[in-house]
Chain A
Amino acid sequence: MKHQIVKHQIKMWGLFVAALGTLMFLGACAKKAAPPPPAPPPSPTAPTASLSASPNTINKGDSTTLTWQTTNATDVSIDAIGAVDPSGSRQVSPSDSTTYHLVAKGPGGTQDATARVTVNPAPAPPPPQTSNATEEELFAQNVKDVYFDYDKSDIRPSEQGAIQADAQFLQQHPGIHVTIEGHCDERGSTEYNLALGTSRADAAKSALIQAGVAGDRIKTYSYGKEKPFCTESNESCWQQNRRAHFVYEK
């Protein structure tokens, strides 16, 4: 945890320094820009201007090169950059999609040109471990097992709320897969209980699908009475064991 915070801070500092450098560079350029030579007054030819960006689509954080050319212009500026040479190029690194607007003014009039740079949002950073654990924790907090009546595999009315809540959570977290384990109490036969556990897991899966969860996110398994949650021989314990148990899968 601590390491990650430190890393994060270093990253922030890096960005800050880079931004500062860019500003200084831009400032220097602006200073260097010589005043445009006075245009010959008697030839009021209309200015021409072109502006392009290459590439015109970048990922956030990357840069692109603006290239422009003008003729017959005495005063050339690009919005968001300022006054520039009549022809030139410059690297820019917009944080959002930007339309660069060049205005070339000359004795013969004004001409403008635009270039659109589309910025794709940064690819989502790989989720750090902490967020996975959180998802699993959320799963543990929100997804409730579903309990069954004796020898039954249909979702009883009292469990409908639980299964609907489970379905809602899974819909809100589409990255989560789930294995539903069918379990049974200790009474009755090993083989029949494995089959009954299969039916219970399938019933829970069907209910989730009906509530809108994609079937391919759900696996089923039966443990019959092989892996009881509670090992006493009484009804409260048996009820604990008659369940569809939801297991988080990445």
Chain B
Amino acid sequence: MSNAIPPIPHPTNDEQIRSFGKGITSRHEHKSQLGRQSLFVVAILFALAASSSAQDWIRTGTGLGVEKVRVAAPDFKPSTADAKNTDLLKTFNSTLWNDLDNAGIFFLVSKSFYPLQTPSQPTEVKFADWSSPPPEASMLAFGNLGATADKVMVQGWLYDLKNPASPQVLGKQYSDSATDDAVRLIAHKFADEIIFRLGGGIPGIAESKIYFVSDRTGHKEIWMMDYDGANQQQVTHLGSISLSPRISPDGSRLAFSSATKSGWEILMYSFDLNRLVSFARFGGMNLSPSWSPDGKLAFSSSRNGFPNIFVVDGSGNNGHRLTTDKGPDVSPTWNRKTGSQIAFVSGRTGLPQIYTMEADGTNMQRVTDQGYAVSPNWSPNGQFLTFSWMRKYGPGEPGSNDLYLMDVASKQWVQLTHDAGRNDFPCWSPDGRHIIFQSHRTGADQIFTMLADGTNLKQLTTKGSNTQPNWSWK
């Protein structure tokens, strides 16, 4: 991080993302004037970076150059004398802090800058103490928690410190059973309320779920966990090899690929019934399912010979083939906003590259031009692909798999991970601000999250080998 060069000037609307590096050309002539200017600036920055450091680290993002809102979030305080409060508050405060810190849309002021007296009630807020340095906060999140018998009540507020006359942005009260899991969920809900209001009306992700593959039982099974790595639970117990979990848009069904006796088949787990439900068997090798926003499934199937991309409806019927080449074609991902395009991986020209096509198989375009590019995932706003790429890959090449972000319209890309082992299977968060992925940087495959600009890295798993994370749609 210390190698980062000065941030790019605040991007204009149609220039939210820009690519850097050699050999990039804009294919959109109407952008060329602006594009050339920006590229020129960028080229200078690149040259500066190259001269001062061997690495081509570039800071990018949608909010660069904008001062982030400074938010203070002192620990919630006990409101009753119950003995359970200590443990419950510990869980609540760490969860809330982590959620706000993860959000990536504001600057969370360090607790060491806070006044000695922190509020637990609106009447206790001393505006000047918080809005002036050292905390110099604009927003203050505070509240209290109290257990009574087996119940717990939480009150939380968000105050706009710049507006003492009418400061309340948010006031919430929650009650639930006095358990660790319940207060963790309350913290997630309160965090999501704050993030929703300060994040331009985009819902927070603190209540979202992650589905992934873990071999910690000795077999590769499907597991799930909260978005922050808490509550890791085993979903399948098949004792085979199960891969590529993909949660349906409504969160009720999980499609994945499993090695059965006859071949790899798409299996379906229902979270309504908490068991596997029957799903069509296709024969051959059936891999890498992907849900469309309206509940169709695309996947790779060798039922007709070569591994090609097929689409079926949510019950496995009305299947049709979209690609007909020798392939192998695999890892489809739908444009999550429109459902009208599919990106996928094909080895038809040699090393695997990423292609896009319309959802009916027409208008095929190759979007990567070299190396080994796999595991595309389409952003919720439909604008970006993230994928794993070894730009210079082949026998004798020392490169590593890094994660990249590509603007689908212009095919311009930026690199998100640097010099950190093999990184694969990136997947967007529901809010489009985060990316979850697997990385071998610790010497074993583990699951990490980061902001979509590559910062704020967090490791979520440690036990066994954990791969192929898939983030819920909400």
What residues make up the interface of A, taking CB atoms closer than 8 Å to B?
A: 150-151, 153, 188-192, 194-196, 198-199, 202, 221-223, 226, 235
Contact = CB atoms under 8 A, between A and B. Distances in A.
A196 B288 CA distance: 13
Contacts of B350: 151
Contacts of A191: 243-244, 287-288, 300, 330-331, 345, 374-375
A226 B258 CA distance: 12
A151 B395 CA distance: 10
Given A188-B374, A191-B287, 20 more contacts: A150-B395, A151-B351, A151-B372, A189-B352, A189-B374, A190-B244, A190-B468, A191-B375, A192-B328, A195-B285, A195-B287, A195-B300, A196-B347, A198-B307, A199-B306, A199-B347, A223-B259, A226-B220, A226-B259, A235-B395
26 contacts: A150-B395, A151-B351, A151-B372, A153-B347, A189-B352, A189-B374, A190-B243, A190-B424, A190-B467, A191-B288, A191-B374, A191-B375, A192-B331, A192-B347, A194-B243, A195-B302, A195-B307, A195-B327, A195-B330, A196-B347, A198-B285, A198-B302, A199-B307, A199-B326, A199-B327, A222-B264
Counting chain B residues whose Cβ lies within 8 A of the other chain, the interface size class is 35 or more
A153 B351 CA distance: 11
B228 interface: no
Interface in B342-368: 345, 347, 350-352
B328 A189 contact: no
Contacts of B214: none
B309 to A, nearest CB: 10
Contacts of A194: 243, 264, 285, 287, 330
A195 B329 contact: yes
B23 interface: no
A192 B345 contact: yes
- Among A189, A196, A235, max chain B CB count under 10 A is at A189
Contacts of A199: 306-307, 326-328, 347
A126 B301 CA distance: 41
A45 to B, nearest CB: 79
Nearest to A197: B285
Contact of B331 (A150, A189, A221): A189
B424 A196 contact: no
A182 B467 CA distance: 22
A150 B302 CA distance: 21
Interface string B223-244: 0000000000000000001011
A63 B68 CA distance: 103
Contacts, number: 84
B388 A189 contact: yes
Contacts of B21: none
Contacts of B264: 194, 222
B133 interface: no
A136 to B, nearest CB: 20
A188 B306 CA distance: 20
Nearest to A154: B326
B285 A188 contact: no
Contacts of B244: 190-191
Interface string B380-415: 000000001000001100000000000000000000
A195 B243 contact: no
B285 A222 contact: yes
Contacts of B319: none
B65 interface: no
Contacts of A235: 395
A150 B284 CA distance: 23
B9 interface: no
Contacts of B328: 153, 192, 195-196, 198-199
Contacts of A192: 328, 330-331, 345, 347, 352, 374-375
A221 B263 contact: yes
B305 interface: yes
Contacts of A196: 328, 347
B370 to A, nearest CB: 14
B354 to A, nearest CB: 11
With most chain B CB atoms within 10 A of its CB, the pick from A150, A189, A195 is A195
